[in-house]
């Protein structure tokens, strides 16, 4: 079984910063991030790319720079990460919930 290391750096009801490490063999299935109300925005910085696999895919992005810096609405659009075949993926994720 593959593991995820999720270090919460800051967490409030409206704002969170997480440092997430995905190991080899891991994938994130297609999903929405559910919120009880309002809008959810995520700004992800891919600090370390997997050597093979681990590609983020979504139906719609607000902004993307080389698939390394991605701003999107995870509450509106399905998203997933392909299986990491080799290496690991490290992500700094900023989440903002607006009413």
Predicted local distance difference test score (pLDDT) of residue 74: 96
| Count of alpha carbons within 13 angstroms of residue 45, beta-carbon side | 6
Read off the pLDDT of residues 43-96 as tens digits, 9 standing for 90 and up.
Answer: 999 999 999 999 999 999 999 999 899 999 999 999 999 999 999 999 999 999
> Per-domain residue ranges for the chain?
4-98
Distance CA(85)–CA(48), nearest Å, equals 14
pTM comes to 0.87
Question: Residue 67 CA to chain centroid, in angstroms?
Answer: 11
Predicted local distance difference test score (pLDDT) of residue 3: 78
Question: Which CATH number describes the domain made up of 4-98?
Answer: 2.60.120.10
């Amino acid at each position: 079984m593959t593991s995820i290391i999720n270090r919460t750096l800051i967490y409030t009801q409206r704002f969170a910063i997480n440092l997430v490490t995905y190991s080899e063999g891991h994938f994130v299935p297609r999903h929405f991030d559910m919120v009880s109300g309002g809008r959810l925005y995520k700004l992800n910085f891919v600090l370390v790319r997997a050597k093979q696999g681990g590609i983020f895919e979504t139906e719609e992005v607000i902004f993307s720079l080389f698939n390394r810096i991605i701003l999107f609405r995870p509450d509106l659009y399905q998203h997933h990460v392909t299986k990491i075949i080799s290496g690991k993926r490290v992500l700094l994720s900023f989440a903002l919930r607006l009413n």
